Structure 1
Amino acid sequence: MGFSQALSGLNAAATNLDVIGNNIANSQTVGFKAGRTLFADVFAGAQAGLGTKVAAVMQTFNSGTLENTGRNLDVAISGNGFFRLIQNGEAVYSRNGQFNLDASGYIVNAQGARLTGYSEGVIGSDPEPIFISTGGLQATATTQVNATLNLDSATDAIDRGTVAFDPADDATYSYTSNITIYDSQGNAHPTTLYFSKVADNSWEVNMSRGGELATNTGSITFDVNGVLDTVTNLDSFQFSPGGGVADLDLALDLDGTTQFGNDFELTAATQDGYAAGSLVGIVIDDRGNVVANYANAQTRVLSTITIANFTNPEGLEPIGDNVWVESPASGQPIENSPGVGLAGTVSSGVVENSNVDLTRELVNLIIAQRNYQANAQTIKVQDEVLQSAVNLR
């Protein structure tokens, strides 16, 4: 009698119901990937077949919809790939980008698995757990000043044979521009640049800090079109602030400066020093960079999130908590930064919802239920036929 076929159908249908029920239960689980049951017949040379079996439960890795959360540490992958995390010393992979900072300063998921990335944005290095130091950013002394300006070509020249430069006497220079520089301990020093026209197309450049005149005097010349031609001695303006800080040695870059028949105008001025600053926030940008923001308006890329791809994602082994581990069927991970090669891009402030289609799953549930009932009916009919045979006289 064919009880075995019907029993195999019941077992397979029950597994299918389990898979569908699991999909429905996780329809609101961030990063969840729906499963589907694959069936295979059991033949083994029997004329009528020996029933069915569950060949595999396969997960579908098509993307879910993205939902805006506004949290800086919520991240979603658009396209292929998985976040790489370290959980109990093992590399695991997930599409759930709901991250936060733990008490030790690591970016972790809800289970405490640590998100990994390329340290300080050095792509190609070994991925490491992303660590956020709560310490402040150390002060850095100014070494480079950049300024772009226009010097009025109609300005009268100053005869240096009779008029010596004196920062206290505005008759000894043509124009000034102010900029703030920083010493090795982050103290701010208001500094003045002096430009003195000493001949046609030729200017003298001086610098002072709080009344202290730099030990160096530079010069610049322009061609007949008013374009900067040569610069001399602009690479070492030195000051001695005292107070236990290192001496300052500044280079001045005037690239783009012109001498046209227009008013004196400073169009850009920057310098590379800054005061110390405390950490005020962490953001993840669209390139996957984990960026620290400091109170001194400085930013630093601490790490770049690692995205892992697999030749056969369906071969990954699920271990729960929205993570998978690699298996022989999946192949080894192909790791890269977001948007490079096969790696998808990332978006900050959003999460990827479950890819479960509830409407489809409810339809599948009805079909699975009918399948289960049909197999149960087969057993009932087989039982009736058996009883008829037993009752023959």
Structure 2
Amino acid sequence: MMRSMFSGVTGLRNHQIKMDVIGNNIANVNTVGYKKSRVTFQDTLSQTMRGASSPQGNRGGTNPMQVGLGMTIAAIDTIHTPSSLEATGNMTDLAIEGDGFFIMSDGQGYYYTRAGNFGFDEEGNLVNTANGFKVMGWQNAQSKTPQNISPIIVKKGMMMAASATSDVRFAKNLNDADPVGTQYIIPFKVYDSKGNAHNLTITFTKNGDNTWDYDIKDSADTSIYNDTLSFNTYGILTSGNPSTPITLNVNGAEPITFDLDFSNVTQYAKETTIDLSYQDGYPAGTLLGISVDSTGTITGVFDNGQNMELAQVALAIFDNPSGLIKAGRNMYTYSNNSGEPQIGMAGTGGRGTISPGSLEMSNVDLAEEFTQMIITQRGFQANSRIITASDEMLQELVNIKR
């Protein structure tokens, strides 16, 4: 008589736990990066009143006779299905389109999260704005391996070092129809090791059929190099590129040594368009802003017109993400059943790509949760009726003796 009552108690207790999980899901319907939980039930060990018997002679076998003793929680699983992205317009808000996790650190261990509400603190650390945990990735790393991830630091107003010019190239056309003695003067700049600009000019002078002299002068009108460009009868350059680098001595900095290339200069009967096509030097620059691409690479935009990779956000993937332990604050920790974290770059190894300026929304489906709430409520009510009915039966038994 009492077995039914205890079975009803297990039903009440475990349906209450399922309702707790449903309530938590609904509470987190707008939590960034939240992954819903699901409760599944299983029956408990049954009491065997008669065992099974095998067929004997002319008699068939019999099935076991068992009475169940209620139910229990089989599992509370975290469902890592992807969710929709919400555009925020904030470049440091990141969302993952795939199965990866951001790697966070409190200085003592690693945590993993899908919530990419990031920003910079006063020291330039890229952190989760909710808890201050630092985002891990690669910065100034020779090789991007799981062993050398570190906190990402991007400071406002940071400087980019100057780069001396080492390569100068000219391109386009010198007019074949120009008479001998025609000159074209083209100014251009080169940069020294400190980023100082030095103004130079190059003068092209036609001295005969298919030949042009050129002379490079500094700002004091002193010649630093001269030679002749020669073209074949098809207008293609045949000679004139210097065989050794050109050196320009400057005050207060290292001499500027650069290669000079005219390989893309032609001589056709067309207007002259020759001009500087490339030089690789630039002055020092100050950071103006950043951009983030789908691989998590943070690129700095500097006021000298240059862009430079500053860092890259690392992602981790797990063989069994449902095995991760919830650590609160939208974060998870490694467990024995999650598998080791496989750390790498976004867009590789199934980690997914990063969508900057977006946040991943909760994957809670309110329609599903309210449906489960109704089912759970009815299950709870039904189990309470078991206890009531068992109690009435016990009361009838007690009333036999008055």
TM-score of the pair, normalised by structure 2: 0.88
In 2: Cα distance, 1:260 partner to 1:283 partner: 43
SS in structure 2 opposite 1:238? strand
Structure 2 match to 1:283: 291
- Cα pair distance change 1:55/1:214, threshold 3 Å: farther
Structure 2 match to 1:356: 364
1:239 matches 2:235: no
In 2: Cα distance, 1:267 partner to 1:62 partner: 56
Structure 2 match to 1:124: 145
- Cα pair distance change 1:215/1:268, threshold 3 Å: closer
Structure 1 match to 2:95: 76
Q: Contact 2:211–2:228 (CA<8 Å) still a contact in 1? A: yes
Structure 2 match to 1:387: 395
Q: Contact 1:153–1:261 (CA<8 Å) still a contact in 2? A: yes
Moved more, 364-373 or 228-237: 228-237
1:182 matches 2:182: no
1:90 matches 2:99: no
Moved more, 173-182 or 69-78: 173-182
Count the aligned residue pairs. 378
Q: Contact 2:77–2:322 (CA<8 Å) still a contact in 1? A: yes
1:150 matches 2:173: yes
Once the two structures are aligned, what percentage of the paired residues are identical?
35
1:114 matches 2:134: yes
Match of 1:48 among 59, 67, 76: 67
Structure 2 match to 1:67: 86
In 1: Cα distance, 2:375 partner to 2:276 partner: 70
Moved more, 46-55 or 344-353: 46-55
SS in structure 2 opposite 1:216? strand
1:130-168 Cα offsets, whole Å, 9 max, x none, are 11144311222222222222111223345xxxxxxxxxx
Structure 2 match to 1:261: 269
What displacement does 1:203 show? 3.0
- Cα pair distance change 1:38/1:88, threshold 3 Å: farther
Gapped regions of structure 2 (runs ≥ 5)? 49-65
What displacement does 1:353 show? 0.6
Q: Contact 1:212–1:239 (CA<8 Å) still a contact in 2? A: no
Q: Contact 2:217–2:224 (CA<8 Å) still a contact in 1? A: no
In 1: Cα distance, 2:169 partner to 2:111 partner: 47
In 2: Cα distance, 1:124 partner to 1:196 partner: 55
TM-score of the pair, normalised by structure 1: 0.90
SS in structure 2 opposite 1:301? strand
Letter in 1 for 2:389: V
In 2: Cα distance, 1:226 partner to 1:105 partner: 55
What displacement does 1:234 show? 6.0
What displacement does 1:267 show? 6.1
1:273-319 Cα offsets, whole Å, 9 max, x none, are 22222222222122210112222122211122112111111111111
Letter in 2 for 1:139: A
Shift >6 Å, 4+ stretches: none
What displacement does 1:124 show? 3.0
- Cα pair distance change 1:32/1:257, threshold 3 Å: same
In 2: Cα distance, 1:268 partner to 1:367 partner: 75
Q: Contact 2:166–2:258 (CA<8 Å) still a contact in 1? A: yes
- Cα pair distance change 1:64/1:208, threshold 3 Å: same
SS in structure 1 opposite 2:26? helix
1:372-392 Cα offsets, whole Å, 9 max, x none, are 111112111111111111221
In 2: Cα distance, 1:68 partner to 1:268 partner: 42
Letter in 2 for 1:222: F
In 2: Cα distance, 1:231 partner to 1:128 partner: 50
Match of 2:301 among 282, 285, 293: 293
Match of 1:228 among 237, 240, 245: 237
Q: Contact 2:241–2:261 (CA<8 Å) still a contact in 1? A: no
1:352-386 Cα offsets, whole Å, 9 max, x none, are 11111111111111111111111112111111111
Q: Contact 2:39–2:77 (CA<8 Å) still a contact in 1? A: yes
Structure 1 match to 2:52: none
Gapped regions of structure 1 (runs ≥ 5)? 159-172
Letter in 2 for 1:207: I
Larger Rg: 2
In 1: Cα distance, 2:194 partner to 2:256 partner: 11
Q: Contact 1:12–1:53 (CA<8 Å) still a contact in 2? A: yes
SS in structure 1 opposite 2:175? coil
Moved more, 133-142 or 319-328: 133-142
1:210-233 Cα offsets, whole Å, 9 max, x none, are 124353324433333222333431
In 2: Cα distance, 1:331 partner to 1:176 partner: 67
SS in structure 2 opposite 1:359? helix
- Cα pair distance change 1:52/1:297, threshold 3 Å: same
- Cα pair distance change 1:120/1:257, threshold 3 Å: farther
In 2: Cα distance, 1:230 partner to 1:385 partner: 111
In 2: Cα distance, 1:336 partner to 1:147 partner: 41
In 2: Cα distance, 1:88 partner to 1:142 partner: 42
